[in-house]
Amino acid sequence: MESPFVLKGDNFPFSKSFKAQVIQECAQPGTSIANIALGHCLNANLVHKWIQLHAQNSLALPPAFAPLAMPL
């Protein structure tokens, strides 16, 4: 009988808030991503992937101000 808690493949159920917390911890000066990952029982490569995705998404945000053409 297969346990319902066995995780297979890349579909790990980590919440966005948990990922954000780990990324924030890794951003602190003097910290090691590997140590942070181990502290959360994560693979360091996974954490590096989260950081890269976060950086890409942060750069892709729309500007706070976008000029609009007004009809005359």
Question: Which pTM value belongs to this model?
Answer: 0.65
The whole-number average pLDDT for the span 4-8 is 50
Q: What is the pLDDT of residues 11-26, one digit of tens each?
A: 568 888 899 999 999 9
| Boundaries of every domain in the chain | 22-55
> Given pLDDT bands bounded at 50, 70 and 90, which one contains residue 3?
very low
How many CB atoms sit inside 10 A of residue 24's CB? 11
Q: Which two tokens stand for residue 50?
A: 């989260």
- Is the distance from CB of 23 to CB of 51 less than 8 angstroms? yes
